[in-house]
Structure 1
């Protein structure tokens, strides 16, 4: 019994430590440069859904799952029905419960794009 409890605790600790891992790869590496050219009309414009999806894959997928289904963290498939864009941005900046803060790990623009993308999940 104690051995099983220890294994479960160890597995949970390892899983939670992966949630806030820093990635050295910038968020736009999954989109070829040619795809970004002409996509937006001004600086900061463009295919924010593609960027937000890449940001999610690099920072959130380990806890919230490939299809936003949840795992270590809760499902995000309908997070926009529960929280507004501003509330999601606040959670991303400050963390909540076991979720780490991404302030300083993601730029304000990345947090805004990710919050907008998640707020559309209703």
Structure 2
């Protein structure tokens, strides 16, 4: 009985840990809805900018489209930005998709 309880508790804590790290929750996708762009953002950008776009190590992007156009965002994705944004984190068609999505955040 003790083994079963311990196994249950351990399994539950692992699932909760994955959910807290983004492994099992769709909350970020709901908050930052955008289909494919949101998926790319979650995979490539959310570790610095947060799954909800509110920032972390990187700046808040919830209203980034008010500050930068799609082309300016694409340039930042391609070339990086001084202060910590590395170049080419998102490339090619994915960069175009994410830049357009972020440009709509106003």
Largest Rg, 1 or 2: 2
TM range (shorter): 0.5 to 0.7
Root-mean-square deviation (CA), in Å? 1.1
Report how many residues are paired: 72
Runs of 4 or more, structure 1, over 4 Å off, are none
Superimposed CA distance per residue, residues 3-40 of structure 1 (whole angstroms, 9 cap, x where no aligned partner): xxxxxxxxxxxxxxxxxxxxxxxxxxxxxxxxxxxxxx
1:84 aligns with 2:69: yes
Aligned match of 1:67? 52
Q: Offset of 1:108 from its aligned partner? A: 1.5
Q: Offset of 1:113 from its aligned partner? A: 0.3
What does 1:92-111 align with in structure 2 at a 5 Å threshold? Answer: 92-97=77-82, 98-102=84-88, 106-111=90-95
**Gaps in structure 1 of 5+ consecutive residues:** 1-48
Quick check: 2:63–2:105 contact (8 Å CA) kept in 1?
yes
Taking CA–CA contacts closer than 8 Å with sequence separation of 6 or more, which of the two structures ends up with the larger relative contact order? 1
TM normalised by structure 1 equals 0.57
Partners of 1:66 and 1:56 in 2: how far apart?
8
Aligned match of 2:39? 54
Higher helix share: 2
TM normalised by structure 2 equals 0.65
